[in-house]
Structure formats: C-alpha cells, structure tokens
Amino acid sequence: MKNHRRIALIAITGLQLSAAGLLAQNSGQPDITELLRRIEELEQKVKIQDRKTELEKEAGVEKAKTAPSVSLGSGGLQVRSGDSNFVFRLRGNVQADGRFTVNDPDGAVNDTFLLRRVRPSFEGTLWGNYDFRIMPDFAGSSVTLMDAYADLRFSPYFSVLVGKTKSPFGLERLVSQTRLLFVERGLPTHVAPNRDVGVQIRGSLLDGQLDYAVGVLNGTPDNGSGVSDLDDDKEFAARLFAHPFKHAETKALRGLGIGIAGTYGDKNGSAPANYITVNQQMFFSFNPGVLNCGTHWRLGPQAYFYCGPLGLLAEYTVSSQELSAPGAGTREIQNTAWQAAVSYVLTGEDASYRGVTPAKNFDLSNGTWGAWEIAARYGELDIDNAAFPVYANPAASATKARSAGLGLNWYLNRNVKAVVNYNWTGFNGAVTNPARVAAKDEHAVFTRVQLNF
C-alpha cells in the first residue's frame, strides 16, 4: 500500500508542477480545467485503492479469527478452532516399571519388568462448554476402557458428567496416575471404589474454596471398576473438599485442603473384593460362596497440606458390607484402612497435590538436573475380626497388613519422570492364629520410567 501511495503522490505532484509550468508559460491563457480534472480523478483512484487495501486487511483479520490452529507441546497435540469453541487434544502416558521382591528365595513372587500403563487419551471440547474424554489402556493382555464420558459444563458451579470415570471418593485415587507420589497407591485405595459408570453433578463454590461432587453410579466392589451393573441396585456417592484458606494473605495456609467422601448402596449376589498389598499380592480373600447380600457403605475423611517444598497427605477409609456365607446367616463386615505420607522437594520447587514442575529441566550441557523429591508413608489395612473363620480362612488370610514405603522421584522435565521405591509390608494373623505370616514380611523395590504428554 505504501508503494502505491508513493507512486500516486509522485504523479499528483508531477501534474501539479506541470500545471504550474503551464500557468507560467501561458499566463495569458488561464484555463486549466482539464488538468485539474485529471488530478482529481487520480486522487480518487488513490483513495479507492487505500480503502480496498483496508478491506483486504480486515478480511484477513476476520479469517484468522475463524481459522483453526494446531499446536504441539508438553500438553500434547492440540487442534483448536479460531473461536475456541471446538478443541481436540491427543495426549498419552506410558509407565515402564520394574518390580522386585527382595526376600523371596523360593521365587513365589516373580520379579518382572512390565508396562504398568499405556494410555492414549482423546479429549476435547464442543461448543465451548461440553467436554469429552476417551482413554483406553493397552498395558494388559487386553484393551481396557478406563474413561469414556461427556462433561456438560453449564457453569463453574454446576456441571453434569455422564459416563465412566473415577468415583468421587478417594483422595489418592482421584489424583492422576501421572502425578502419583509413589509407584503404587496406598492401602486406603484398596477399600475404596475405582472407576464406575453413572451420572455425577459437580462444581466449585465460594470462589474455589469448596468443591463438591454427587453421583448415582452402578456400584463397584472395593478397588474395583465396572462397565455394567451386576444387579438392579445403584450406589450413591458424594464428596466435599474445601480449601478454607485459599485466599488467605498468609501463604502457608493456602495449601490446606480437607474433605470427606462417602458411598451408600445395596449389592446383592455379587462377590466381595479380596485385598492385595502395595506389591499387588493378595493377602486376604473371602471363602468361596461368600456373597454381597445388602447394604454396602463407605466413609472417607481426607486431607492434604502443601507449603513450599513440603507436602503432607492423609486419608482414612471405612468399608462396611453385609455378606452371606453358605450355611451361615448374614453379617456386617467392616474393614478399615488409613495412610499418612510426607514429601519434600530437595531442589526447592513447590510441592503440590498434582505433582512437581521442575524450575529447570534436566540438561547436562547447561548443568541443570530437573527436580528431585523424597517421600515416605505408612499405612494399615485392618480386616474385621468378624470375618473369621466363617467368611475367610484364618490359615490363608491375614487380618491386617501394615505397610511402610520410601520413595525418590526425579522430574527430568514436565513430561519425563523416574521413580524408585522401597516398600515393606508386615502382616498380623487372624484371631485364631495371631502368629500367622509373621516371618513372611514383604520387601519390594519398584522402579518406574514415565513419559506423559
């Protein structure tokens, strides 16, 4: 546009000089009407060209607003419409583990390398307020559908989620597997529900200080996931989690979160869950023929606190279920579990419920080493003594598991993490055999290299 205007101005100036020359040479003939008309036409053409250029620029801006954009970064591959009403994201997570039992001379537990999780995730937004997610897992011998839901976000205070995802209950369960403090979740998770199908209403109130979730779900056994209902009964789940000092002037108080969750429902005709250690080995199983035959409820107070590099997390879970056994009546069996964990980021970054982001990525050429975090935890899972001997065999099952773990986490960058854990599990025998498995404490070492994007 500048070149066109420059040429036009030169032409107009030339005509004006020519007109001035004619006047000087023909002072006795003052009629220059034709020359002035041509100058006016040329000026009009310049104005038309300028306006045309402006219109083309405005059209280009409008087109850019509606043109889709494609980006690739630490958050995965993203395609976004110009107005941001439509978004598609491709993300993924791969966890390559090693699992080694230290005191196992008889080889009862196989030392193994394994792919713990291989989960691509297809996520997106439709019309600005309607989210979806589909996440399968290819790590096992068959493909498992972990998440498949639509989330209708009517406002920050109220959204409706329909489909399969995590039940709103366990504190450690609800954190993403890519942000776990340890390789495996602790014992309270084993008496809590996992993923379930149903409808959940969720939202955030009081300027983010109170999160709530209420759901009607098919119902799953402890530590179980479901894709369909095993009976006609449904399970109700609810969770409240507060950040009472989220906006406090004192930074040390902002990282406190406290909550409580519960489930309630009836289960009939299905088998109750058996329980495993952190090393994924079964330490308690119900006798054959034991079935759910009534109310199953859970209660779970939970809390965490983060202040700078320090992190604390604690939860307690009660799982109470009515069971029947062949030749015996029904009985309520109440199992409990709890854990407490502490972590500290050695490199000074802030600890958080959702993991650590290194201030400087690992880069040998620049002498930077990412973020390093140490962690420790202790927990117990206590089986109701009333389960023995009618509902469980005291010669085959322990009545309590006690677990302690140490961990070292290396965050090379936002997408790569390396972990090594040591975990000890000790057992208490049943009421009729207090010394059971005292000499068979479990010592295990876990390693993990995780890539997520």
- Decide if 202 contacts 216 (C-beta within 8 A): no
Q: Identify the H or E element spanning 427.
A: strand 416-428
DSSP code at position 387: G
**Residue 348: Cβ-neighbour burial (10 angstroms; 0-12, 13-18, 19+):** exposed
Burial state string for 99-122 with b = 16 or more CB within 10 A and e = fewer than 16 = bbbeeeeeeebeeeeeebbbbebb
* pLDDT tens for each residue of the chain, 453 residues long: 445 555 555 555 555 555 555 454 555 544 677 777 777 777 787 788 888 888 878 777 766 667 889 999 888 999 999 888 999 999 999 999 999 998 876 777 889 999 999 999 999 999 999 999 999 999 988 999 999 999 999 999 999 999 999 999 999 999 999 999 999 999 999 999 999 999 999 999 999 999 999 999 999 999 999 888 878 899 999 999 999 999 999 888 999 999 999 999 999 999 999 999 999 999 999 999 999 999 999 999 999 999 999 999 999 999 999 999 998 889 999 999 999 999 999 999 999 999 999 999 999 999 999 999 999 999 999 999 999 999 999 988 999 999 999 999 999 999 999 999 999 999 997 544 444 444 478 999 999 999 999
Contacts made by residues 437-443, CB under 8 angstroms, sequence distance 24+: 437/283, 437/398, 441/103, 442/101, 442/103, 442/277, 442/279, 442/281, 443/101, 443/102, 443/103
pLDDT in tens, 72-115: 988 899 999 988 899 999 999 999 999 999 887 677 788 999 99
Supply the angle between the helices 2-25 and 33-66 in degrees, to the nearest 10.
Answer: 170
Residue 55: per-residue pLDDT: 81
What is the phi/psi pair of residue 273, to 5°? -80, 145
Mapped onto helix, strand or coil, the DSSP state of residue 428 is strand
What distance in Å separates the CA atoms of residue 166 and residue 188, rounded to the nearest whole number? 15
Mapped onto helix, strand or coil, the DSSP state of residue 164 is strand
What distance in Å separates the CA atoms of residue 280 and residue 110, rounded to the nearest whole number? 11
Residue 416: per-residue pLDDT: 98
Residue 438: per-residue pLDDT: 43
Which residues are paired to 315 by β-bridges? Answer: 302, 339
- Decide if 261 contacts 239 (C-beta within 8 A): yes
Nearest CA to 360 out of 309, 304, 413, 281 is that of 413
- Decide if 403 contacts 379 (C-beta within 8 A): yes
What distance in Å separates the CA atoms of residue 43 and residue 35, rounded to the nearest whole number? 13
pLDDT in tens, 110-124: 899 999 999 999 999
The first and second tokens of residue 95, run together, are 């966890």
216 CB neighbour count, 10 Å cutoff: 14
Residue 435: per-residue pLDDT: 43
What is the phi/psi pair of residue 381, to 5°? -130, 115
Nearest CA to 337 out of 284, 407, 388, 286 is that of 284
Contact partners, residue 400, CB within 8 Å, separation at least 6 = 380, 381, 382, 383, 427, 428
What distance in Å separates the CA atoms of residue 288 and residue 396, rounded to the nearest whole number? 12
**Residue 425: Cβ-neighbour burial (10 angstroms; 0-12, 13-18, 19+):** buried
